[in-house]
Structures are given as structure tokens and as C-alpha cells.
Amino acid sequence: MGPVTPVDPADLPGPRGLTEEVLREDEGDAGVAPASAAFYWPLLTAERKARIQSVVEARLQSITVVLDRLLDPHNTAAILRTAEGLGLARVHVVAHQAADGIAHRRVTQDAHKWLEVEPHASGAQAARRLRESGFEVWAGHLDRAARLYSELPVDRPVALLFGNEHEGPSPETLAACTGTFRIPMAGFTQSFNVSVGAGIALAHLAGARRRLLGRPGDLSEEARVQLRDRFTLLAAKLARRMKPRP
């Protein structure tokens, strides 16, 4: 592999050229055996390689988010897009109810190619599993014990949980979490839209975590190689879609 031009780690959008179009299933490729990432990597431009490398290097697995029974799929989509743009490696989703399954699958079907999207049966289950794996789980909730989002710890893995837009997290879910947090309001409105609140809190945590780590991301070498291969195949898929047909 030849040298590539490094990209400023402060600039963390997805790889240029990997647009929403490439995330859709490509019917024209049906029945065609895919080539390996090792085959396609040398064929990419130096700029594309640099962008993929910079995004992979900036992926954070120690900051994540749980979307617990969000009613509006557009809120789910917005938070997933924000999470990917901030460089999070994985998100956790609990469907609002069975009838919402199709809407949520439409959202995560595209997003899972950028992120690892892990489904859970309930917010409590997601919180328990994350805590078992070493995360502190803080639920967005207005109560007397809620900590300011800017005071949450960043010296350990942290997950932020956002509950249903109208009901918030259930009592069972709150009991399974480490604690609660809040975002202060300076106006008459009681709370931010959930997607806005998630953006504010996640952006702060991701930035603070990177400053503590002293580097853009925290994936293992094995995970970085796997993610680079996945993005390489997406880039190759885009190139095939854009190739003029005879």
C-alpha cells in the first residue's frame, strides 16, 4: 500500500463518496460474487484511502447511545446519523412496539453499513448488558438526582440512554442504569427534542473522551482492519454504481 495524505482528525464526516445511494441494496449486483477488500483497496484513489483511514482511526467504541422505544423513526434516523458523524462505533436500539419494526428496520438497514446497530428487547436489558460489559449507563431524565451532562465521567466507557419522547425511560430501565443526567435549559421550553439533546450530549462526551485518550479513536488493531475492509467494499460498490453502462 502506498503512502496516503493524512486527514485532520478534527474533520470527522464519513468517507467522501460513500453517499446514501451506495447504502441501498444494489439489485444490479445480484448473483455476482463479491471480490475481497484486499482486491479493491489498491484501486482506490489516494484521497479516498486517506478519508477511509481517518474515519477508521477516529471510531470510538467507549462512547455509545441507547435509543429506547423512540416513537418517531425520524428521531431515530437523526440520532444514528449524528452518532456516525461523531465517530461512534456502535449504537443500541429498542423498537417502540412490534408495529414499528418495519420503520426501524428501514432506518437501521442503511445505518448498519456505517455503524454497528445492536437491537435489544427492552431498555432495561440494554442497560444491564452494557453495564456487564464495563459501561456506565446514564439515562436522560429530569429528576432531582440527575447530573449535568457536562459532569458525566469520560475516564471510562459511557452509554447515554434516551427514552420514549413522551414517556421517557421506564422505571425498570431507570433502575438498571447507573444514574440519570440532564441538559440545562435557558428558555421556557422544558426540554430539547430528543435528537437535539442526543447531539448536544454525545458531541460533548465524544470530544472529552478523545481529549482524555489523546487520540481520535480507540478501536483495536483487529477492529480497525475489519472496519477498513467494510468501507473499502462500500467504496467499490459506489464505483460500480457510477460506472457508465454500455
Q: Which of 12, 49, 79, 13 is nearest to 215 (CA)?
A: 12
CATH superfamily of 63-182+189-213: SPOUT methyltransferase, trefoil knot domain (3.40.1280.10)
Q: What are the pLDDT tens digits along the chain (246 aa)?
A: 434 444 444 443 333 333 333 334 444 444 444 578 999 899 888 998 999 999 999 999 999 999 999 998 889 889 998 999 999 999 999 988 654 544 455 554 456 577 888 999 999 999 999 999 999 999 999 999 999 999 999 999 999 999 999 999 999 999 999 999 999 999 998 889 999 999 999 999 999 999 999 999 999 999 999 999 998 988 787 666 544 444
List residues bridging with 63 in a β-sheet.
158
For residue 164, what is the enclosing H or E element? none
For residue 93, what is the enclosing H or E element? strand 90-94
List residues bridging with 137 in a β-sheet.
159
**Distance in angstroms (rounded) separating the CA atoms of residues 67 and 19:** 24
**Distance in angstroms (rounded) separating the CA atoms of residues 90 and 92:** 7
Angle at 115 between CA 109 and CA 118, to 5 degrees: 70
**Distance in angstroms (rounded) separating the CA atoms of residues 123 and 125:** 5
**Distance in angstroms (rounded) separating the CA atoms of residues 73 and 21:** 19
> What global pTM score does this model have?
0.81
